[in-house]
Structures are given as C-alpha cells and as structure tokens.
Structure 1
Amino acid sequence: MAPAKPSARAISQQAFDEMVKENIDDLGMEPTEALSDAIETLTLQGVDLSGIVTSTLPGETNPVIQSLDRIKQLQSSDWTDETVLEEALDLFDNLTALSRIEGSGNAAIATRNGGIELMCSVCSKLSEFRRDSALASALNALAAFPHDIQSTETFRQSGGPKLVIGTLTDKTQSTNILNSAFSVVAASATGNEVLKESYVELHIDELILKIMKNHTKGNIPSLYDTIRVLLAADDNRVVASQVYGYARRFAKIGITEALVDSLNEGLNSSSLVSITIALKAIAVNDEICRSVAEKGGIDSLLICIDESGIQGNKTVAKSCCSLLSKLAGSDFNKSAIIERKGLNRLITLSSRLGDDPSVIQEVMSIICTLCLRSPDNAAMAMEAGAGELAIQSMKKFPEASQLQKNSCLMIRNLVARNTENRSILLSNGIEKVIRNAKESHKCCKDAGTAALRDLGLENYNL
C-alpha cells in the first residue's frame, strides 16, 4: 500500500461544544454567532470537523445521536416484544433517512458516535431472535453509515464481514434481507481493498451465484451493485489491486452466465442498468467477453438497445452501449455484432435519441472499436451512416467535449486502413469540424491530430 497521507487535526465533540460555550460566556456572542465563529476558526486551523455535530448549540440534541442513544437503551429490552420492535423499526428507518441526506454529515456523526459498532451488535441480536422485518431495516441503517476509509475499517474491525456473510447464508429466502445485506457489502467494500479481500475469502462469489439461481432475476438490485463494487479497483492506497483476479474467479464459477440470464429479461427488469454495469465489471479479458456472446449476451444487448431507442430510455441505452463497447474489444464479438446488423441498429439508436450527446458518444465508442484494424468493418460502418453521424453530431454539439473526442477517434479508425472512406469524409467537410474540435477542446488535441493525419492531410499537426 502507498504511504498514508498525514491526517488532519482532530477535535472531540466535547471540545467543540466547550469552544462554542466560551464564545457565548466569555466573548458575549449570540449562540448562532458563537457556533459560526467556532466552525470558521477550526476550519482555518485545518481541524477535521467530520462527524462533529455543528448544527446544534450546546444543550441541544442532534437527532442522529438521539436515535443512537435510544437504540442503545433498547438493546437490553425484550426483542420479542412487538412494541419494542415497532419503536426500533422507526429508529432504524429514521437513521437511514438522516444518514442519506446529501451534505448533512449525518453518516459521519453516526460513525463517530459508535453507530457502526452499535448496528453490528443490533443486527446480530435481531438475526439471533429471527426478527426478519427489523433486521432488514437495521441492515439498511448500517449500509447508510460507511462513507470513508475510517468508517469501513471500523465496520471490518467490528466483525461486519462475517456478520453480513452469515446473514446472506442464513436468510436466503428473504429478498428484503438479502437486498439490505448486499447493500451493506457494497457500501462497506467501496474504496476498501482489504474488505473486498475479506468478502472473497468468505466465498461471497459462491453465495452470489446461489442466490441469483434461487431468486427471480433482478429481484435483488443491490446484488449487482455488490458485484460492481467488489470488482472495482477504487482503493487509492493500493498499488496493485486484486480485483482482476476476482473477476476471473467470478466468471469461472458461472456468475457471468447468471448475469447474461438476467440480461435476457431486457427492459422488463428494473435492474437492467445495474446488470449491465455488473457484466461490464466482470468482462476483464477476451475469454470472458467472448463467453458473454456465446451465452446470448450480444443478442440480448442489441434487443435492449433497439427497445430503449423505441421507448426513449436514454439511461438504458447508454448503459447497454457502454457494455457493448467493452464486449466489442473481442474480435469474436466484433463479428457477432456485425452479423446481427449491429452497425445499422446503433445508427438507428443515434437517430432516435439524437438529442442526447451522451448516447451518441457511446454509439461512436462502439463503432470505433468495431472498426479498429478492420477495413471491412469500416466500409460497412460508412455504409450504415457512421461518417454522416460524425459530421452532423460534431456540428450539432460543438460544446460536448467527450462526443467531439469520441468522434475524432471513430473517424481515425474509419479511415486508417480504408482510403475510400478518406475521400468521402473529406468531400463532406470533415476536416473543418475536426479542426474546430481541436481548437475548442484540449481533450481533442491528440485524437484530432491522429484523425487528420490518417485522413492523409499533411498539415495535421496545426
């Protein structure tokens, strides 16, 4: 792991409250002014205020801490008592809602005040007493707390991974509990390589496959988020992540095939976007990409792309195109996409959703990959309308930098090994729009230069 960065100065809640009180008692400030002054002073001094209650005055009670304190009191109560459970459910749901308020800092307040340790203990007790409805709510609250490396480490040190894996193992029939438990896995493993490893060592891949086989496809949305997180190299402390190996392990036991089966549900699945993202995460090499096509994944994706265009569903269109672009990296899959009239279907999609540059740039990315080192595919792409798509889109969306860049990259692959395409594009004014892109967008400088060079222009570097 990389050397740890120096941590910011810390302060306790008691010290912060005393500082505010001193501003009131010794300096005669109004309470609101005293609070603002303390925050400003400590911030300027480089003090880390995350997890400190800065929204209430001394003597007032923060709702997060109030809920945590009441849950602590209920721990000694009879968890078989319906009145106790009803109150606990309200407290869990309230904590979840408070912690998910963007910018509130409530998740940090909860973790700083023992929320993770408390909810791990509560979840263990609820599982023991088989109080499933309360357990699902408690897991949701626990999933809302992890927000940084310190909070995920607290979860790990509190026995969180074994607790969640035990829940996934014991509660295989309850979709609510499974969905909540997978939410905890996804939240806790985000940005933490050690936790990813812990879950893999506890054979979470086998559990994922078992649960996918035993439940209706798409019925547990957070399961797909879990796959994505476990296979993401997102811990900046780690020089060489192990997630590539995890992806191959997931594929080897059959998770790829199970994901393709889920993909076959198409737009009928509310989890379609999450499924495509999970598949993209697992498709880390040519063998896995090819296996997706062999199991019918290309056919399903193209159908989803057709239907998303007809229904105007831009979110689904982008996610499906993004996955197809990844799969197109395999030469076997290139042929499969071409044989299924993929080029024409992509151009049709871009015309149906032509008002959204983010969709068009994904289409261009796929065509760019399909035409790489393939003059035949480049000729078919031009015949389908890729050249016209590039010119018209670059003119229509001059400020869309990623679209401009993707268009330059696609043009380069259209002409690099196909001289006929060069003359067609040049006669239609492609040079001017590429030069405009180079001038307007820094990210287009290299891509635009390469496109102009492969178009056969001598002054390509200007």
Structure 2
Amino acid sequence: MEDLGMDPVEALQDAIQTLTLQGVDLSGGIVTCVPGESSAKDNPVIHCLERLNELESIPKDRISGDEMDEMAGLFDKLTELCSVEGSGNAAIAVKNGGVELVCSICSKNRWIQDWIQADVQSTETFRSSDGPTILAGILKGESESLDILDCGFNVVAAAATGNEILKESFMELKIDELILQVLNRQNTGNVQSLYDAIRVLLTPDDNRVVASQVYGYARRFVKIGIAGALVDSLCGGLASPSLVSASIALKAVAVNDEICKSIAERGGVDTILKCIDDSSEQGNKTVARTCCSLLSKLAASDSNKSAIIEKGGMERLIQLSGRFSDDPSVLQEVMSIITVLSLRSPNNAARAIEAGAGDLAIQAMLKFPSAQQLQRNSCLMIRNLVVRNPENRTLLLSQGIEKIIRRAKENHETCKDAATDALRDLGLDNYCS
C-alpha cells in the first residue's frame, strides 16, 4: 500500500482483481475484507473464533454456567457454519487457528466437534496440537455416551483420511481396542461413524508414503476380534441399521487369504449369502450391491470359493441378478463375484454356465450398452468362463457373444484390454483388431 500509494480498500480491490485474472480460486478460506474493518469482525466464523478465544482464556474455576452454555452454543454454530458446502468457512476457521483452539478447549472441557476437514493442512494442525491424544482420552472417558462416540469417531475418520501419520497415531493410542469395546455392545448401530473410522484406518490413501502400514493394522484388528465382531453385527440382517456400513468395514479388514478364511469360519459366508437372499426378496439394491462386493472380496480365498459354491452361491447370485435385472450396478457386482469364483476353476466355470452366467452376460451387455463398468465386468467374467472350458466357448460363440464383445471394445476405452483378453480366450485369431 505504501509503495503504490493505495489506501486499504484500493489495495484489496486491486489484489482481488489481479488474483482473479490469474485464475486463483478465492472461494476457499479467503476473507475478502480489510483488516480491522467491521466487515472482518462481522464474519460469523471469525466472530465465533474470537469469542471462543475470550471464553477459553477464562480459568476453569472462574467460568460461569452461562459462559459454558455460550461456549457450547458457539461450538454448535461453528460446526454449522463449517458444514455449509462451498462456503469456505471450514478453511477460514483452519487458517485462523480454529483447529488449535478447538483442541485446546476440548482438552479442558472434554467436548468434541466434528468439523475438522480431511485435508493435509488441517489434519497436520490437529496432530501437532495433540489432537489424537485428546480425542482418544475423550472417547475412553465418555464411552457410555453414544452421541459423543459417534461424533468422536467422525473426527477419527476425518483426521485419518489421507494421513498415514495420523492413522499410526490413533493405532499407537490403541483405538482398535476402543473400537472393539464399542462393537461388542448391543446398540452399536447408533454409532455409524465407527464403521467409517475402521474403513479409513485400513485404507492406504496417503500418496506421500511409499509403503502403508494399514495391512498390519488389519491383521491387528483381526487378532483382537474386530473381524468377528463385524460378522456378528451382520447377523441382524436387513433389520440392522449398520448392515451396509459394517459390510464396507469388514471388506476393508479382509486384506489377505488368511483373514478371508477366518471370516468364513466365523460364519461370514453364510451370513452374507443370507443378506443377499433377503435383499433380493425385499428389493434392497444398496444391500445387494454392498454384500456382493464383500462376498467378492472373501471369494478370493480358494477355500471360500468352495464354500460359496457348496452353499448354492452361484445359483443364488443368478437369482439375485434376475431380481435386479434393471440395475446395472447390481449386475456388475454379481459378475465380479462369478469372475472370482471361476478363476482357475473349470468346475466352477461349468457350474456358472449351468446356472445362467452366460445368458446374464449377453442380456446385460445388450440391455446396458453404455454402462462401462458392467461391460468391462462382463468381458472379465466371460474370459474366466471360457479360458479352461472349450465347451463354454462353443456355447457362447453360438449365441453371438463375439459381436457383443467387439462392440464393447469399440465403444469403451476402459473395456479394450478386458475385451481383447476375452476374444483371445474365446479362441478367436483376430482378437487384437
């Protein structure tokens, strides 16, 4: 301002115009007002933080009941403001010390707020402010409050997303033991964020690290009994409010053959097949998709493949596809399981064709030509159905599968490799064209 002889308002307008011309996004956390002006003080996020700072500075033994109520109200308001999508309020709060302030107040008053944003800047601030330790202490101390547990595990999920260091911090604080403690209760379904926390803690989503530790965490989860507790939580079937969330969490735990087998030994395959049957009867597409996805993960174990087949899994899956013949998202999940079940197993491939997998592929590909993932999954399934079963090749080729696959290959870039492999394993010479 001094160099160019501008007053504050002129300098601000010039800066906004220059940055806008340069293509800078000013929507995320930028307070476009002159410092000291009433417009800055009137910003509701800044106002909340300033007042919370004032209240936080009052010694605990001197703060009045009215001031405690005001602080709680400000927390609620700040949470509401930061939850407004596209407002930039959360970024404004982070850049103005909101994470440090909330951690400080929570450590003194054992409160939790779940407005922490899952980005590197705010999560690193959360970590450096000793947020994980404070949060773990609150969760352990307030383990009887379902609301606090739900809010707290929300923070765990938000903070650990994309941050390997915070995942490690939570595991060092034995968050897995607390998770198991909550899972073993009768009313776990009221703590939905618990399942999100499991999924995030076991997801290798931090691009800054070469080798994630999450697979070791999954083994630790299984060792202390979390996988078994998740299987038990599925036994309530469609009546359970946590069925979908628990299925997704269990899929995150199932990272290797040993774990997949242990889940089956606990009754996981039986439970999931029953949920699939129930979803078919009740027309619940969400449960159908989720349970099929989980079953596909468990089917990676050869022993589980046999168990699924012996329990009539192939026929039950084809029946499910008939129930949801108008939903490509369900059909592609069914195809994914059949692909896994048929891998390196001529007997299972023959069983699949007998159950109607070939007809499923042909009808679905014809009915949903623009559904890219379904088209790709169909090609992958067809390949496994024919690669070791010449009789299946003859059958599918006689039904016109070649033309359908070539159309998918031509129309969808994502299908090219899968379609080429399918054409090759069908015994066609010109599979590359």
* Superposed pair shares fold, TM > 0.5: yes
Aligned equivalent of 1:284, options 234, 241, 255: 255
TM-score, normalisation: structure 2: 0.92
| 2:179 equivalent to 1:201 | no
1:71 Cα shift? Answer: 1.9
Q: CA deviation at 1:92?
A: 1.8
The match for 2:47 among 47, 50, 66 is 66
Match of 1:338 among 309, 315, 318: 309
Match of 1:394 among 365, 368, 371: 365
Q: Distance in 1 between matches of 2:170 and 2:328?
A: 39
Instruction: Return the offset for 1:221.
Output: 1.0
Q: Equivalent residue of 1:144, what SS?
A: coil
Structure 1 partner of 2:75 = 92
Residue among 263, 266, 280 paired with 1:295: 266
Deviation at 1:118, TM superposition (A): 0.9
Shift of the 342–54 alpha-carbon distance from structure 1 to 2, 3 Å rule, reads farther
What amino acid is aligned across from residue 52 of structure 1 in structure 2?
Answer: I
Instruction: Give the one of 366, 380, 384 matched to 2:351.
Output: 380
The percentage of aligned residue pairs carrying the same residue is 63
Judged with a 3 Å threshold, the aligned counterparts in structure 2 of structure 1 residues 325 and 161 are, in CA distance, closer, same or farther, namely: same
| Coordinate RMSD, CA, aligned | 2.2
* Shift in alpha-carbon separation, 1:91–1:77, aligned structure 2, 3 A: farther
The answer to whether structure 1 residue 453 and structure 2 residue 431 are counterparts is no
1:238 aligns with 2:217: no
Deviations 1:196-231 (A, max 9, x none): 111111111112112222352323111111111111
The answer for the alignment partner of 2:300 in structure 1 is 329
Matched, 1:103 2:86: yes
- Distance apart, 1:78 and its partner CA: 6.4
Distance 1:365 1:22, change over 3 A: farther
Conservation of the 8 A alpha-carbon contact between 1:107 and 1:147: no
**Pairing of 1:21-100 with structure 2 (within 5 A):** 22=7, 24-25=9-10, 38-45=15-22, 49=26, 50-54=28-32, 59-60=38-39, 61-75=42-56, 76=58, 81-100=64-83
Match of 1:123 in 2: 106
- Letter of the 2:391 partner, please give it: E
Local SS of the residue matching 1:214: coil
**Which residue of the partner structure matches residue 265 of structure 1?**
236
Contact 1:110 1:145 in 2 (8 A): no
What is the letter of the counterpart of residue 144 of structure 2? Q
**Structure-1 residue corresponding to 2:332:** 361
Deviations 1:349-389 (A, max 9, x none): 22222222111111110000000011111111111111111
Inter-partner Cα distance in structure 2 for 1:38 and 1:305? 58
CA distance in 2, matches of 1:262, 1:43: 52
Deviations 1:151-196 (A, max 9, x none): 1010001010100111122111111111111111111111111111
CA distance in 1, matches of 2:360, 2:305: 20
Name the aligned partner's letter for residue 397 of structure 2.
L
1:66 shift after superposition = 1.5
For 1:309-328, what aligned pairs fall within 5 Å after superposition?
309-328=280-299
Alpha carbons 2:151, 2:193 under 8 Å: kept:
yes
The superposition leaves residues 321-346 of structure 1 with CA deviations (integer Å, 9 ceiling, x where unpaired) of 11111110001111111111111221
Pair 213,458 (structure 1): closer, same or farther in 2 beyond 3 Å = same
Asked whether 1:306 is paired with 2:272, we answer: no
Name the CA distance, whole Å, in 2 between partners of 1:257 and 1:461.
47
Match of 1:3 in 2: none
Asked if the contact 1:108–1:147 (Cα under 8 Å) also holds between the matched residues in 2, the reply is: no
The aligned runs of 1:140-289 (5 Å cut-off) are 141=113, 143-289=114-260
Contact 2:365–2:375 (CA under 8 A) maintained in structure 1: yes
Q: C-alpha separation between the residues in 1 aligned to 2:393 and 2:109?
A: 68
Is 1:56–1:62's contact at 8 Å kept on the other side of the alignment? no
CA positional deviation for 1:88: 2.8
> Could you tell me which residue of structure 1 aligns to residue 95 of structure 2?
112
Contact 2:118–2:162 under 8 Å retained in 1: no
Q: Which amino acid aligns with 1:95?
A: L
Query: SS where residue 255 of structure 2 aligns?
Result: coil
